[in-house]
Chains A and B, each alone.
Chain A
Amino acid sequence: MSRNSANGGMNRSLPSRLRSRFEGPNTIGESRGFWVGFAAAVAALAIYPAFGDGSQLSLFMVLALLGLSLSVVWGYSGVLSFGQVVFFGIGAYTFGVVSINFATPGGITAAVVAGIVGGGLSAAILGYFMFYGGVRDVYVTIITLVSTIVMHTFMAQTAGSEWAIGEAALGGFNGMPDIPLLTLGVGGLSYQFIYNPFPMRILGIGAFEISPFYYLVLVLLVGTYLGLRALVNSDYGRVMVAVREDEDRTEMFGYNVTRVKFVVFTLGGALAGLSGVLYAARNVYIDPTVFSLLFATLPVIWVSIGGRKSLLGAVVATLAVEYLRISMAGELALVLLGTLLLVTILVLPSGLVPWLHEQIVDTRLGPGEAGGADTPDAPSEVSD
């Protein structure tokens, strides 16, 4: 059980035993310093709404969940899904349809679950179709890309009145407005997370209002990040990485590669579905642009820039790229985004966060000791 060499073997304290579940060869950040920094970052996010635009940051955090879902599917299992937005969008639309039809707290709670299940189920269907059919490598990417375009084409033409599910009209290009506010709970025991700010007063800073939705998303994001860290560092996570590195060899060792890919793809779809639910709930609106090619590519951009083999990279890059994209609203925004993407892929193929981490480890340990210990990548890894 001495996976964590820094603490291995000794009679370990509770924090370090707790920590060891989240540490391993598949993630970066094992030192005490990292966890202190992590806690500081979460704390900074927690007090951020007092100073900045929390509602915007909550959107970025919702999208970071989508980035995480791609990171686990692509970065850890080697399946480049260009269709994470399909599951994102299906989650969002499912949430919209169910919550419009059952606009009670219980109904909306069920709608959240339905959205997550919808995302996971659609991923399971597509994944079963592909992986059990022997579709591999770049063809998986192209099938997911085509699925995105199918969804975009299909949802864009649902404008007519015949395209309604119960009370909910799908609305074609105009999308689906009037999604009820996110209220979780059953019957009288419920709480509305959207547009229900509660006032706070902190000595020295003053009075301000904070959004419960922001904290809901923050908790979900931190929880998902830690959960996925535990997953990728577990035995199952090691099989996922083995599949990424060499499918045939993993198969030869007796692992069911097809099932691993199917399960991870489904999990990624459910996570993308959750992200979609929160996206629709935050905007109280959803339209087919979530299936557009540009939106479909955004998760790939985030994960590539941040470092696809790094969960932290996916989160950091999503927040950073989306912040840049929104704040450079001018004509040059897309040119800069494209340049950033191009330069990152060409110059830092492993991504920004792993590169930064390498720099930090390098300077701390000296060049001789660094490297090797972190990620067990084959040097000539094929990235599809």
Chain B
Amino acid sequence: MVNGINLALQFLDSFAFIVLAAAGLAIIFGIMGVINLAHGEFILIGAYTATLAVTQLGLPLVVAMLVGGLVTGLFGILTERVIISGAWPNYISQRTLGRDVIEPLYDRLADSMVATFGLSLILTQGARIRFGNSIDQIATPFGAISYGEFSYSSYRIVLAGVSIGLLLVTYYLFTRTDFGMRARATIQDKETAQAMGVNTDRMYMLTFGFGSALAGLTGALFAPVISMQPTLGDQFLVEAFVAVVVGGPSVVLGTALSGGVLGAILATFSNLYGTFIGRIALLVAALIALRFLPNGITGFIEQLRKRRQESD
């Protein structure tokens, strides 16, 4: 039997999970055209950093989570400089060999997938070698609320709130700040942005760093509720991917809408038929959505808007 409150809570839970999993990936893919298959491992870095900061250094949970985001952001910047743009290796090779050794991965979608998958293998296995197959977990904060026969972790409700907050912050950052304006100018037309004095190279670096920091924060936020193992990133990757492509080109709106739609599907089917069917329903819905809305939900909205403008 479907219980209304239970379904609503499950929806919030799925929504938060999908939005948080996808936010960082959406920014990197939507703005930079780079598919980061190591996204799950960026989440892993955030989760491990936060957990270790609590268990080893004894930091308060909220601080540890911010540290998790920060460390992952810095790691993202390092990744961008070394692998995605190849700026640092090329700087060295220019001075020793007199030529570039690395071709940047921008506009090489498939290659960016393959290269970041290589990075993901290294990070997963590196975490396993360094920390073993699991690390001690931090306790779930806030306890549980219960009603009738159901009890529900209130932390998960907090996560839903945080996910909406993060979307708002991202929206503010990209639409109301100088950084956001420059970043969007870089996506729209790199050459013109350059001509207007935007340092596009630096924009890419910072955007990648910001996307990575979001991924790290996601990992840190989920650290108390998922098991800490080197493969924990895998469970985020698929939902993140699906949400990004179903969402379409508009990063914040797309992530929010696809989080809503896919979260509703996931919650309903999981509630009715169990988690396996829920997951399959989610994936099948994504396949169908991609087939009929190849540019995602926001691409479809954009198309409708254009058509209406033309008919006026």
The residues of A with any CB-CB pair to B shorter than 8 Å are 74, 80, 129-130, 133-139, 141-143, 145-147, 149-150, 153-154, 157, 293, 297, 300-301, 304, 331-335, 337-342, 345-347, 349, 382-384
Contacts and interface: CB of A to CB of B under 8 A. Distances in A.
Interface in B260-296: 276, 279-280, 283-284, 286-287, 290-292, 294
16 contacts: A80-B113, A129-B291, A133-B292, A141-B110, A143-B287, A143-B290, A147-B287, A150-B280, A304-B114, A331-B129, A335-B125, A342-B119, A345-B114, A347-B101, A382-B107, A383-B110
Given A157-B276, A383-B111, A342 B291 contact: no
B109 A138 contact: yes
Contact of B115 (A145, A147, A346): A346
Contacts of A331: 125, 128-129
Interface centre among B108, B117, B276 (most CB of A within 10 A): B117
Contacts of A383: 108-111
B266 to A, nearest CB: 13
Interface in B103-142: 103, 105, 107-111, 113-115, 117-122, 124-126, 128-129
B238 interface: yes
A347 B119 CA distance: 15
A336 B129 CA distance: 13
A342 B122 contact: yes
B122 A146 contact: no
A378 to B, nearest CB: 13
Interface in B125-162: 125-126, 128-129
Nearest to B244: A142
A338 B125 contact: yes
A301 B118 CA distance: 9
A145 B103 contact: no
A301 B283 contact: no
A224 B98 CA distance: 43
A153 to B, nearest CB: 5
A308 to B, nearest CB: 9
B35 interface: yes
A345 B121 CA distance: 14
Contact of A137 (B83, B103, B109, B126): B109
Nearest to A308: B110
A interface majority secondary structure: helix
Contacts of B287: 129, 143, 146-147, 150
Contacts of B109: 137-138, 141, 382-384
A300 B280 CA distance: 24
A346 B103 contact: yes
Given A146-B283, A331-B128, A341-B121, A139 B290 contact: yes
B23 interface: no
Given A143-B290, A338-B120, A349-B103, A332 B129 contact: yes
B294 A135 contact: yes
B180 interface: no
A154 B280 contact: yes
Contacts of B110: 74, 80, 138, 141, 383-384
Contacts of B290: 135, 139, 142-143, 146
A345 B105 CA distance: 9
A339 B118 contact: yes
Given A141-B110, A149-B238, A130 B125 contact: no
A150 B284 contact: yes
B129 A301 contact: no
B102 interface: yes
A347 B276 contact: no
Given A134-B294, A349-B111, A383-B109, A342 B280 contact: no
A142 B234 contact: no
A149 B279 CA distance: 10
Contacts of B221: none
Contacts of A153: 276, 279-280, 283
B222 interface: no
Contacts of A74: 110
For A141, A331, A341, the residue with the greatest tally of chain B CB atoms inside 10 Å of its CB is: A341
A384 B114 CA distance: 11
B241 interface: yes
Given A149-B238, A383-B108, A341 B115 contact: yes
Contact of A138 (B35, B234, B276, B280): B35
B108 A342 contact: no
B20 interface: no
B78 to A, nearest CB: 14
B39 to A, nearest CB: 13
B16 interface: no
Given A145-B241, A146-B286, A331-B128, A300 B117 contact: yes
A153 B242 CA distance: 15
A242 B107 CA distance: 20
Contacts of B128: 331
Contacts of B237: 293
B92 to A, nearest CB: 13
B114 A301 contact: yes
Contacts of A150: 280, 283-284, 287
B292 to A, nearest CB: 7
Nearest to B108: A383
Given A141-B113, A142-B241, A146-B241, A338 B119 contact: yes
A310 to B, nearest CB: 16
B294 A338 contact: no
Given A139-B245, A301-B114, A345-B115, A337 B121 contact: yes
Contacts of A133: 291-292, 294
